[in-house]
Structure 1
Amino acid sequence: MSESGSRGGAVRLPGDVTRPFEVYVNAILQVEGRDYVVRDGVLRFERPLAREKVGAARWTRMFLGIAGSYGANDDVDVLYTVGGEKRVAAKLPLL
């Protein structure tokens, strides 16, 4: 992975996340150093991340079953422990 990870996507870790933690993109476990780096509380990924923006017309067509949604829609989830309790931060907002 490039040192900066600036070409790819990024998400901010929740404030209560401490190591160790696991990172998943679209339910696939990611490896620190290969798939992402952690810098100042932000996960920076090598590859771009995208979230599909669905307008009103497309949403209506999907609702009526006329069209499906096949655009890019990357979800980043973080699994971590606080005080012995497992937590999941799901669908973190993309930066």
Structure 2
Amino acid sequence: MPRSIARLPPQVQPPFEVFISGVPQQQGVDFVLDGRDLVFEGRALRKDKVSGWRWFLGAWGVGTYRQNDSVDVRYTLNGRPMVAEGLEIVAEDDGA
């Protein structure tokens, strides 16, 4: 079963809210917190990396579309609302 992990930045402390591509996620339902890691079981999240070739095609108006998930966290730091955008995603597969 695929699973994806996003590590929380050190400044993020509970309480916080998690979003995938702008869609709110619920702890215990959509993800679990394992130390500083947000673990998404059964989900293969991916960040699209644009190669030079794909950038060149895009510059000419030729679209190439791939999965591009963004894990964002909304939290409070010193009483100020903050957002950590585009957390690094590590996708794991159990090889089954």
Same fold (TM over 0.5): yes
Deviation at 1:92, TM superposition (A): 0.9
- Whether 1:63 aligns to 2:47 is no
Q: Secondary structure at the match of 2:32?
A: strand
4+ runs of 1 displaced by more than 6 Å? none
Whose RCO is larger (CA < 8 A, sep 6+)? 2
Deviation at 1:16, TM superposition (A): 1.2
Paired-residue identity, %: 39
Aligned to 2:81: 86
Unaligned runs of 5+ in 1: 1-5
Q: Structure 2-normalised TM-score?
A: 0.86
1:53 is aligned, of 45, 49, 53, to 49
| Larger strand share, 1 or 2 | 2
Deviation at 1:54, TM superposition (A): 2.2
Cα distance between partner residues in 2 of 1:58 and 1:16:
35
- Whether 1:42 aligns to 2:37 is yes
Aligned to 2:2: 7
Cα distance between partner residues in 1 of 2:48 and 2:12:
27
Aligned to 1:30: 25
Cα distance between partner residues in 2 of 1:44 and 1:60:
35
Number of residue pairs the alignment of both structures matches: 89
